[in-house]
């Protein structure tokens, strides 16, 4: 063999060795991933809630966490990152290690709305995350401050017409702001936006009469409705709420093609093993069927949607499409 052929052969051998080494590394990593998934969970799980404590997403996460802990044998550690419309917390969840020990709680605003309305939300949830399971589904409720002495939606419309510029709308998420804009688009009711960092401060100002109204998920607003601190005048989903049977839907009141709903769902980074996704889905659905969860959810009009991980992903795709459409309609107004 001449020197040139020898060098060529040596390079070929080195190349083959590199390919074999890479294959071994890949197989080893795959086996390690499978082994880790089979042993999962081996420690506590952190759930990132991209909002301050006390709101609807936080409440549902804590109810779920308490229910699933004894089922999986480990605690759920709640980490609230309540800043900037939930964007930092969502990014934190996207950037987490894909090992199933950090899960992200997402809502309509952080998953289906912010990417189309907020430049800071430079992420694509359906590409960066895997949907795992639904935690809760709730209607939204239009409530007004008691000091307005308004009991019905027609009365609110009349007040707004007679007192231009006086109605204010408390909002802490892009869902709430879009709800306001969509209602204005569909009904002609004008309310001035007053932004808040979280649901607690916003609702407290409606209770105190410093803000005129808000549209909030029932998980956040139901305790105040039951206490008589605010007046509910419309449900913003297509079906009536069993918890508020006397409150009409916005459709019944003549406002068509307007549906605002709320949900909390669990997500994990996109590279999380499917075995872990399926495990969390099955155990979450088991936890949500327990009597304690059902009783707690009934108190605040939260429903459970018993969806597989695949069905949850499809739900998110529909939600993203619907919210994007509303955003575009509002922008084109």
Choose one of 188, 218, 235: the last residue of a domain: 235
CA distances from 5 to 11, 12, 106 (A): 10, 10, 60
CB 232 within 8 A of CB 225: yes
Does 152 fall in a domain?
yes
Residues 126 and 271 in one domain: yes
Residue range(s) defining the domain that contains residue 297: 45-137+265-332
Residues 157 and 224 in one domain: yes
Does 29 fall in a domain?
no
Q: Residue 169's pLDDT is what?
A: 98
CATH number of domain containing 202: 3.40.190.10
DSSP-H helix ranges across 197-308? 199-208, 218-226, 274-288, 291-299
Residues 64 and 106 in one domain: yes
Residues 114 and 159 in one domain: no
Q: How many CB atoms lie within 10 A of CB 7?
A: 11
Residues 127 and 78 in one domain: yes
Q: Residue 55's pLDDT is what?
A: 83
Residues 125 and 154 in one domain: no
Residues 63 and 143 in one domain: no
Residues 113 and 148 in one domain: no
Q: Residue 132's pLDDT is what?
A: 98
Angle at 126 between CA 122 and CA 131, to 5 degrees: 130
159 phi and psi angles, rounded to 5 deg: -60, -45
Residues 113 and 153 in one domain: no
Q: How many CB atoms lie within 10 A of CB 258?
A: 20
Question: What total number of domains does the chain contain?
Answer: 2
Q: What is the CA radius of gyration of the chain?
A: 24
Q: What is the pTM of this model?
A: 0.74
Does 91 fall in a domain?
yes
Q: Residue 252's pLDDT is what?
A: 95
Does 8 fall in a domain?
no
Does 248 fall in a domain?
no
Q: Residue 10's pLDDT is what?
A: 59
Cα gap 145→315, rounded to integer Å = 34
Cα gap 215→108, rounded to integer Å = 14
For residue 260, what is the DSSP state? -
Condensed to tens digits (0 to 9), the pLDDT of residues 260-289 reads: 988 999 999 999 999 999 999 999 999 999
Does 287 fall in a domain?
yes
Does 258 fall in a domain?
no
Instruction: Give the residues of the chain that fall short of pLDDT 50.
Output: 4, 6-7, 19, 23, 25-33
Cα gap 129→240, rounded to integer Å = 32
273 phi and psi angles, rounded to 5 deg: -55, 140
Q: How many CB atoms lie within 10 A of CB 274?
A: 10
The number of CA neighbours under 13 Å toward the Cβ of 203 is 26
Q: Residue 84's pLDDT is what?
A: 86
Strands, DSSP E only, in the chain? 45-49, 76-80, 102-107, 129-145, 168-171, 192-195, 213-217, 230-235, 261-269
CATH number of domain containing 270: 3.40.190.150
H helices, E strands: number in the chain: 13, 9
Choose one of 182, 215, 235: the last residue of a domain: 235
Handedness of CA 280, 285, 287, 293 (dihedral sign): positive
The number of CA neighbours under 13 Å toward the Cβ of 333 is 14
């Amino acid at each position: 063999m001449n020197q040139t052929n020898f060098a060529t052969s040596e390079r070929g051998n080195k190349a083959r060795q590199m390919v074999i080494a890479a294959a071994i590394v890949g197989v080893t990593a795959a086996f390690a991933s499978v082994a880790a998934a089979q042993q999962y969970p081996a420690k506590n799980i952190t759930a990132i809630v991209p909002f301050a404590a006390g709101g609807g997403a936080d409440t549902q996460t804590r109810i779920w966490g308490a229910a699933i802990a004894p089922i999986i044998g480990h605690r759920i550690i709640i980490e609230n990152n309540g800043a900037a419309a939930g964007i930092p917390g969502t990014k934190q969840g996207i950037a987490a290690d894909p090992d199933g020990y950090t899960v992200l709680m997402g809502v309509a605003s952080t998953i289906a709305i912010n990417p189309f309305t907020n430049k800071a939300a430079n992420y694509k949830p359906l590409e960066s995350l895997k949907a795992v399971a639904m935690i809760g589904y709730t209607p939204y409720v239009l409530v007004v401050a008691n000091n307005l002495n308004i009991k019905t939606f027609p009365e609110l419309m009349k007040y707004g017409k007679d007192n231009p510029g006086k109605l204010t709308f408390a909002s802490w998420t892009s869902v709430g702001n879009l709800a306001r804009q969509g209602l204005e688009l569909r009904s002609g009711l004008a309310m001035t936006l007053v932004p808040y960092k979280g649901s607690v401060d916003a609702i407290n100002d409606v209770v105190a009469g410093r803000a005129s109204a808000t549209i909030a998920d029932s998980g956040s607003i139901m305790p105040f409705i039951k206490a008589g601190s605010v007046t509910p005048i419309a449900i913003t989903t297509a079906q009536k709420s069993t918890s508020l049977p006397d409150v009409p839907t916005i459709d019944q009141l003549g406002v068509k093609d307007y549906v605002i709903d709320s949900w909390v769902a669990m997500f994990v980074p996109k590279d999380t093993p499917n075995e872990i996704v399926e495990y969390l889905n099955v155990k979450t659905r088991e936890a949500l069927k327990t009597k304690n969860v059902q009783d707690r959810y009934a108190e605040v009009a939260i429903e459970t949607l018993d969806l597989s991980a695949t069905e949850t992903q499809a739900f998110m795709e529909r939600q993203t499409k619907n919210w994007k459409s509303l955003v575009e309609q509002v922008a084109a107004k």
